């Protein structure tokens, strides 16, 4: 009975506003002591966990991708991408909203952080869509759901966390998100177009950008597109490790920004500081999750859950649907990184015992997290878009609730046709 107390303490601490890293570490320490009754064993674990957790070489992937994201943002690459996409799509009904999706997807291929994409695109795209007469519901929905593409399209920081937590190939996980990410983007563009056809008041009349301006806009984005191709090619061929890919991506992002005169010394310093802050936050959460993981291991909770589910003789698809629902619900209240670190200790042994592919489950997890990030009653990305773009939260929820059907459709297809997620990883060297 005492061993069941730590999860309750963890929940109460999170509801009370305790930092996630502290809540995980504190409840984990309590659990280890309650299970073992040995204070010296607890102190022994605490003496090795912080260093052993962050000293893992695979973790160097995280700050490299984060630095790449901040350098891309400081270099104004997202603004260039949006300008080019809007110039080429202005003649289509809802073209600026569709351009936002393209910009989010391409920026995601240079950042891997959905929160960064939501914040940057809210500042860039929303004023333009307002100026051209787009409704706030459509504009905010396109930004919020478009930002979730960063969770799927490599380099995805959430995918890296999943790979580290489950000891799954990070390179294959990152590549596995490519086709599902493209599917979400295609469905999202189709839903935006359908929305403005059914309710034309949400988008203005179309206009055609002059050809000279269109072609000129491509000049500023081709280096970014080249950077994306290099990153994907290196990941797919295995010529470089994910860490090396992240380092090269950060270097190229800095070179591109400096070449166009966008990346200043102050911007570089700010990107470095932001990278250190974000990386430190993630590493602290990892340390807390590792301590909590020791409690889970010592209490044998994952093994017990696997045994119970196995003894129930449930169809494995019923189990996976149940896990999907749980992920979706929890992701409405929690960011993707702590959610993955908290839940994978329980769900991963279960899905592998049922014979599901860990790479496929990684993609499915990302889709569930993406849904929760934009769905009421919380939805972290919805809050970011509302605060950054100055849009009423309920209007953001209206837009994201309609457009998130693109993620739902992709999730169903990935569950029915697992090869959507597995084909590219299976063709890798």
Mean pLDDT by 10 residues, the chain (429 residues): 74 79 86 84 84 79 81 74 76 81 76 73 81 85 88 83 87 90 92 89 75 74 77 79 82 81 82 85 83 80 71 81 80 74 82 89 89 77 84 88 91 92 86
Omega within 30 of 0 (cis) for the link into 247 = no
Residue 20 pLDDT: 78
CA distances from 2 to 33, 247, 346 (A): 10, 46, 19
Nearest in space to 253 (alpha carbons), one of 111, 363, 404, 148: 111
Nearest in space to 369 (alpha carbons), one of 416, 399, 328, 408: 328
Residue 429 pLDDT: 63
Residue 280 pLDDT: 86
Q: To 10 degrees, the CA torsion angle through 127, 128, 130, 132? A: 160
How confident is the model over 5-17, as pLDDT tens digits? 888 888 788 777 7
Residue 213 pLDDT: 73
Find tokens 């993406």 and name the residue: 370
CA distance 113 to 8: 30
Count of Cβ atoms closer than 10 Å to residue 230 Cβ: 15
CA distance 141 to 400: 4
From the number of C-beta atoms within 10 Å of its C-beta (0-12, 13-18, 19+), residue 408 rates as middle
Count of Cβ atoms closer than 10 Å to residue 5 Cβ: 13
CA distance 357 to 254: 37
pTM of the entire predicted model: 0.80
CB contact at 8 A, 121 and 78: yes
CA distance 248 to 68: 9
Residue 38 pLDDT: 80
Residue 2 pLDDT: 63
Residue 110 pLDDT: 67
Length of the chain: 429
Query: What are the structure tokens assigned to 94, written together?
Result: 């809802």
From the number of C-beta atoms within 10 Å of its C-beta (0-12, 13-18, 19+), residue 244 rates as middle
Count of Cβ atoms closer than 10 Å to residue 357 Cβ: 18
CB contact at 8 A, 82 and 311: no
Sign of torsion, CA 314 319 325 327?
positive
CB contact at 8 A, 274 and 70: yes
CA distance 184 to 189: 9
């Amino acid at each position: 009975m005492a061993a069941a107390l730590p999860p309750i303490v963890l929940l109460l601490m999170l509801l009370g506003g305790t930092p996630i890293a502290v809540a995980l570490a504190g409840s984990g320490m309590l659990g280890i002591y309650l299970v073992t009754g040995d204070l010296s064993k607890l102190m022994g674990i605490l003496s090795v966990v912080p260093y052993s957790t962050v000293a893992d070489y695979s973790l160097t992937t995280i700050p490299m991708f984060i630095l790449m994201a901040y350098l891309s943002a400081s270099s104004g690459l997202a603004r260039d991408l949006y300008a080019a996409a809007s110039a080429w799509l202005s003649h289509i009904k809802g073209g600026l909203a569709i351009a936002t999706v393209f910009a989010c997807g391409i920026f995601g291929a240079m950042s891997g952080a959905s929160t960064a994409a939501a914040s940057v695109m809210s500042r860039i795209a929303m004023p333009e869509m307002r100026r051209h007469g787009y409704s706030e519901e459509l504009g905010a929905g396109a930004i919020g759901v478009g930002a979730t593409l960063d969770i799927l399209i490599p380099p995805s920081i959430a995918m890296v966390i999943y790979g580290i937590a489950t000891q799954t190939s990070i390179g294959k996980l990152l590549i596995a998100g490519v086709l599902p990410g493209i599917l979400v983007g295609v469905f999202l563009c189709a839903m935006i177009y359908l929305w403005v056809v059914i309710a034309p008041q949400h988008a203005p009349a179309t206009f055609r950008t002059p050809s000279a301006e269109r072609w000129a806009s491509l000049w500023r984005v081709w280096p970014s597109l080249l950077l994306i191709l290099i990153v994907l090619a290196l990941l797919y061929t295995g010529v470089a490790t994910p860490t090396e890919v992240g380092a090269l991506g950060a270097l190229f992002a800095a070179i591109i920004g400096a070449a166009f005169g966008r990346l200043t010394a102050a911007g570089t310093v700010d990107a470095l500081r932001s990278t250190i802050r974000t990386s430190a936050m993630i590493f602290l959460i990892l340390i807390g999750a590792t301590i909590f993981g020791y409690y889970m291991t010592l209490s044998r909770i994952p093994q017990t859950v696997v045994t119970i589910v196995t003894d129930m003789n449930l169809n494995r698809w019923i189990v996976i649907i149940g896990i999907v629902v749980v992920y979706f619900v929890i992701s409405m209240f929690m960011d993707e990184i702590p959610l993955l670190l908290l839940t994978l200790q329980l769900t991963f042994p279960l899905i592998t015992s049922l014979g599901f592919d860990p790479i496929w489950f990684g993609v499915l997890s990302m889709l569930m997290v993406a849904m929760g990030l934009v769905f009421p009653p919380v939805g972290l990305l919805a809050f970011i878009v509302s605060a950054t773009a100055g849009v009423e939260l309920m209007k953001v929820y209206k837009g994201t609730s309609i457009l998130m059907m693109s993620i739902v459709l992709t999730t169903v297809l990935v569950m029915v046709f697992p090869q959507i997620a597995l084909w590219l990883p299976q063709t890798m060297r």
